[in-house]
């Protein structure tokens, strides 16, 4: 009977140890130091297992860590989202960056309000300026004045009485554009015949210009109205071997054909050398 009492005692004690596990009430934790080891844990009752040595696949309803898992072990090393981003070296969440991440418009980027972006492009407020590659898609935008500037870098001469182009003294005009222009010419002639001027324009264009300058003496002046393309003016600088000037100003109104406005010159007397000297210049602007 004495031995029977001991057996009953041990049986009750064993039942007290086992019942919590059956009921799923025991706190059992999984611990492993071998990253290559797999474990088989049948955990349909949500019981956490403290130590398993058999290999296999693991199944969990949930798992909690006592401390943040380090980055070196596949974690974030942090207990909050912001701290995790910092630990991982990531950009913190920002409304501006979130809005920018959905932006998908060609052109220049402009912020129009908080967390709001729009694509923009440059445009000319008038035809006095030219904007190239306005949205920057094909390259850097450029802005320039719609104008032409030119300077004679070497003397231009002619001995013919027919009009010839003055090299370097021209500018381009587009279809239906209107331009003002000024030719300022230092000129001379080897004889007393003097020098004449003409202007050619694109087909269909109209222009009106006034040529003004030295005539029969250094202090004498003459002028000429110019309205017909390629038609020579009156003679200027009719003093042999004297350096004088001619200033031609006007406006050209082009039609539908793009082209060139070209300054021409001629000698009044055949064989005499008429010269447009170095540093004569042209200024033209679109209106």
Task: State how far the Cα of 199 lies from the Cα of 226, in Å rounded to an integer.
Answer: 8
Specify the DSSP element, H or E, that contains 6: helix 2-23
Q: What is the pLDDT of residue 66?
A: 61
Residue 95 located in a structural domain: no
Q: What is the CATH number of the domain that holds 191?
A: 2.60.120
C-alpha torsion angle, residues 229, 234, 238, 241 (rounded to 10): -10
Which two structure tokens, joined as six digits, stand for 84?
């995790």
DSSP 58: B
- Rounded Cα distance between 178 and 261, Å, is 11
Q: Are 152 and 267 in a shared domain?
A: yes
Task: Report yes or no on 180 lying in a domain.
Answer: yes
Domain count for the chain: 2
**H or E element: which one contains 147?**
strand 147-151
| pLDDT of the residue at 280 | 98
Range of the domain at 199: 147-286
Give the tokens for residue 62. 């949930």
CA-based nearest residue to 207, from 280, 284, 281, 275: 284
Say if 24 falls within a structural domain. Answer: yes
Query: Within a domain: residue 21?
Result: yes
Q: Are residues 164 and 271 in the same domain?
A: yes
Cβ contacts of 44 within 8 Å, gap of 6 or more:
none
> By CB neighbour count within 10 A (0-12 exposed, 13-18 middle, 19+ buried), where does 253 fall?
middle
Q: Is residue 220 part of a domain?
A: yes
- Nearest by Cα to 47 from 74, 20, 86, 67: 20
- Give me the pLDDT at residue 55, please: 46
In this structure, is residue 108 part of a structural domain?
no
Distance CA 5, CA 8 (A): 5
Radius of gyration of the chain (CA): 47
Distance of CA 126 to the CA centre of its chain: 21
| Bridge partner residues of 187 (DSSP) | 244, 276
Q: Give the pLDDT of the chain (287 residues) as one tens digit per residue.
A: 444 444 444 444 444 444 344 334 444 444 455 554 444 444 444 444 444 444 445 545 555 556 788 887 778 878 787 788 888 878 777 888 888 888 888 888 888 899 888 888 888 766 667 788 888 888 888 886 778 899 999 999 999 999 999 999 999 999 999 999 999 999 999 999 999 999 999 999 999 999 999 999 989 999 999 999 999 999 999 999 999 999 999 999 999 999 999 999 999 999 999 999 999 999 999 99
What pLDDT, on the 0 to 100 scale, is given for residue 84?
83
Q: Does residue 102 sit within a domain? A: no
Q: CB-based burial of residue 44 (10 Å sphere; 0-12 exposed, 13-18 middle, 19+ buried)?
A: exposed
- Do 152 and 57 share a domain, yes or no? no
Distance CA 163, CA 268 (A): 10
Same domain, 152 and 258: yes
Residue 4 lies in a domain: yes
Q: What is the pTM of this model?
A: 0.60
């Amino acid at each position: 009977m004495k031995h029977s009492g001991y057996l009953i005692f041990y049986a009750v004690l064993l039942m007290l140890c086992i019942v919590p596990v059956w009921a799923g009430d025991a706190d059992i934790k999984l611990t492993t130091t071998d990253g290559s080891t797999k474990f088989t844990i049948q955990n349909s009752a949500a019981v956490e297992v403290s130590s398993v040595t058999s290999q296999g696949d693991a199944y969990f309803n949930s798992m909690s860590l006592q401390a943040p898992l380090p980055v070196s072990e596949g974690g974030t090393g942090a207990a909050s989202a912001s701290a995790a981003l910092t630990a991982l070296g990531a950009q913190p969440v920002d409304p501006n960056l979130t809005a920018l991440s959905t932006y998908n418009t060609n052109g220049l980027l402009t912020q129009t309000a908080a967390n709001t972006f729009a694509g923009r492009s440059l445009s000319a407020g008038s035809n006095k300026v030219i904007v190239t590659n306005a949205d920057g898609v094909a390259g850097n935008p450029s802005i320039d004045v719609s104008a032409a500037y030119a300077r004679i870098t070497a003397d231009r001469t002619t001995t013919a009485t027919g009009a010839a182009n003055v090299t370097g003294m021209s500018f381009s005009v587009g279809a239906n554009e209107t331009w003002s222009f000024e030719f300022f010419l230092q000129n001379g002639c080897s004889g007393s015949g003097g020098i004449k001027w003409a202007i050619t324009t694109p087909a269909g264009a109209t222009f009106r210009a006034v040529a003004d300058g030295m005539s029969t003496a250094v202090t004498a002046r003459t002028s000429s109205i110019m309205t017909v393309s390629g038609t020579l003016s009156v003679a200027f600088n009719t003093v042999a071997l004297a350096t004088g000037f001619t200033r031609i100003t006007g406006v050209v109104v082009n039609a539908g054909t793009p082209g060139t406005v070209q300054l021409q010159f001629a000698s009044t007397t055949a064989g005499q050398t008429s010269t447009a000297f170095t540093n004569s210049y042209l200024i033209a602007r679109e209106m």
